[in-house]
C-alpha cells in the first residue's frame, strides 16, 4: 500500500530495519529523547506494551526492532487526532498494523479504554514544561506536546501505574530538574524506580535528559547506570550513541 502522505508532510528514514516515519514541520517532531527511551526500556518477547502520549508513533515503531522475536502487541495512545492519524499511516506504511494499534484517547482515561493492569511494559515521554514556561507562540500541537496543558506529570505516572501489571515495568524520559517529582510520583503510583541513567550533551556540560525504569509493586533497589555522553570532543556522536541509532533504534530526530 505504501505511505499515504498529506499536504505538508514528509517521510523520514529511521535508518533501521527499513522503517520510515511520517512527520510534518507543522506539528511536534520526535527528538533524541524518544529514541533513547525506546532503547532504554526493557523489552521482552511476547510483551504487551503501551506507549502513553505516543505522538507520531515513533516509540512503538522503534520498539519493534528491540527483540529478535516479536512482541505480542504494542498500543500507542495519543490525544491529538492529527498526530494519531500520522502515526496510524506510519504503522500501515511500515506494514506493522498486525503488531501496533494507534488509539486516539486521553491517557487519563486509559483504564476505561483498556482495563487496568493489562500491560507488561508502559513507556512515556510526557510534556516536560509546566504551563507558562517555554515559547508561548508555538502552535497548539507543539504546546500540547511540550507543556502540561492536557496532562501533568502526575497524570502520566498515575496512568502508567494503573496500566502496568504487577511485576511489569514502566519507563519514562524527562528532564533532570524534574527528577524528584518523577520519583515521587512513581512511588505514589506503586512504581518502584529500579534503574536510572543521566544523559549529558557533552562530558563538560550538565545532564539534559533522565531515563528511569520502574517495576510495579517492586522492592526498593535503585541502580544508577553509567552516564551516557552524546557528543565527543570532536563534536560527533560518541560510539555508544552511534550504536543506539544504528543498532536497532536508529533515527534522525531533533538535536538534544
pLDDT bracket for residue 173 (50, 70, 90): very high
- Residue 235 inside a domain? The answer is yes
Domains: count for the chain: 1
Average pLDDT over residues 18-32: 89
Is-contact 36 173, C-beta < 8 A? yes
Rounded Cα distance between 107 and 109, Å, is 5
Work out the average pLDDT over 232-243: 94
Q: How many residues does the chain have?
A: 256
Segment holding 185, helix H or strand E = helix 179-188
**pLDDT for residue 212 is more than 60:** yes
pLDDT surpasses 60 at 254: no
| 46 occurs within a structural domain | yes
**In the beta sheet, which residues pair with residue 101?**
75
Residue 95 lies in a domain: yes
Say if 128 falls within a structural domain. Answer: yes
Cβ neighbours of residue 230 closer than 8 Å, sequence gap 6 or more: 32, 199, 200, 201, 202, 237, 238, 241, 256
DSSP, res 28: P
- pLDDT reported for residue 182: 97
- For the chain, helix (H) and strand (E) counts, in that order, are 8, 11
Q: Range of 38's domain?
A: 9-246
User: What whole-number distance in Å separates Cα of residue 38 and Cα of residue 251?
Assistant: 11
Cβ atoms of 198 and 176 within 8 Å: the answer is yes
- The answer to whether 236 and 6 have CB atoms below 8 angstroms apart is no
CA-to-CA distance for 78 and 84, rounded, in angstroms?
Answer: 6
Mean pLDDT of 25-40: 90
Angle at 41 between CA 209 and CA 247, to 5 degrees: 90
pLDDT at residue number 30: 84
Position 255 in a domain: no
Q: What is the pLDDT of residues 108-152, one digit of tens each?
A: 999 999 999 999 999 999 986 565 555 555 655 554 555 455 789
The answer to whether residue 164 sits within a structural domain is: yes
Please give the mean pLDDT across all residues of the chain: 89
- Per cent of the chain over pLDDT 90 is 79
What are the pLDDT digits (tens) for 88-108? 999 999 999 999 999 999 999
User: Measured on CA atoms in the order 112, 113, 115, 120, is the torsion positive or negative?
Assistant: negative
**Domain contains 81:** yes
Question: What is the sign of the dihedral through the CA atoms of 79, 256, 226 and 248?
Answer: positive
Does the pLDDT value for residue 236 go beyond 60?
yes
Residue 1 in any domain: the answer is no
Q: What is the mean pLDDT of residues 214-230?
A: 98
Q: What sign results for the dihedral spanned by CA atoms 93, 10, 100, 43?
A: positive
Residue 176 corresponds to which cell in the numbers above?
A: 533532570
User: In which band, very low, low, confident or very high, does the pLDDT at 249 lie, cut at 50, 70 and 90?
Assistant: very low
Distance CA 223, CA 221 (A): 6
pLDDT at 135: 57
At which residue does the C-alpha cell 538535536 appear?
255
Specify the pairing of strand 119-124 against strand 48-52.
Answer: parallel
For position 233, which CATH number holds?
A: 3.40.50.150
Buried b (16+ CB within 10 A) or exposed e, 230-251: bbeeeeebbeebeebbeebbbb
Q: What's the predicted TM-score (pTM) here?
A: 0.90
Give the pLDDT of residue 46. 94
Angle between helices 239-246 and 32-40 (to 10 degrees): 80
Do 158 and 185 touch, CB atoms closer than 8 A?
Answer: yes
Mean predicted confidence (pLDDT) in 225-244: 95
Q: What is the mean pLDDT of residues 13-36?
A: 90
Amino acid at each position: 500500500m505504501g505511505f499515504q502522505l498529506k499536504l505538508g508532510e514528509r517521510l523520514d528514514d529511521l535508518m533501521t530495519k527499513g522503517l520510515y516515519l511520517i512527520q510534518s514541520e507543522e506539528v511536534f517532531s520526535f527528538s533524541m529523547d524518544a529514541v533513547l527511551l525506546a532503547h532504554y526500556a526493557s523489552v521482552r518477547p511476547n510483551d504487551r506494551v503501551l506507549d502513553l502520549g505516543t505522538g507520531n508513533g515513533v516509540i512503538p515503531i522503534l520498539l519493534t526492532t528491540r527483540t529478535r522475536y516479536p512482541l505480542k502487541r504494542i498500543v500507542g495512545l495519543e490525544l491529538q487526532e492529527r498526530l494519531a492519524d500520522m502515526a496510524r499511516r506510519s504503522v500501515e506504511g511500515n506494514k506493522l498494523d498486525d503488531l501496533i494499534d494507534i488509539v486516539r484517547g486521553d491517557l487519563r482515561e486509559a483504564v476505561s479504554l483498556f482495563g487496568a493492569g493489562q500491560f507488561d511494559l508502559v513507556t512515556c515521554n510526557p510534556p516536560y514544561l509546566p504551563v507558562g514556561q517555554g515559547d508561548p507562540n508555538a502552535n497548539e500541537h507543539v504546546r500540547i506536546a511540550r507543556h502540561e496543558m492536557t496532562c501533568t506529570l502526575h497524570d502520566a505516572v498515575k496512568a502508567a501505574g494503573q496500566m502496568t501489571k504487577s511485576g511489569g515495568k514502566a519507563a519514562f524520559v524527562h528532564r533532570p530538574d524534574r527528577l524528584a517529582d518523577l520519583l515521587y510520583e512513581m512511588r505514589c503510583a506503586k512504581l518502584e524506580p529500579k534503574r536510572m541513567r543521566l544523559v549529558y550533551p557533552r562530558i563538560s556540560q550538565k545532564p539534559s535528559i533522565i531515563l528511569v525504569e520502574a517495576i510495579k509493586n517492586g522492592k526498593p533497589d535503585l541502580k544508577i547506570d553509567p552516564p551516557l555522553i552524546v557528543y565527543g570532543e570532536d563534536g560527533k556522536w560518541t560510539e555508544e550513541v552511534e550504536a543506539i541509532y544504528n543498532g536497532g533504534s536508529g533515527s534522525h530526530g531533533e538535536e538534544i
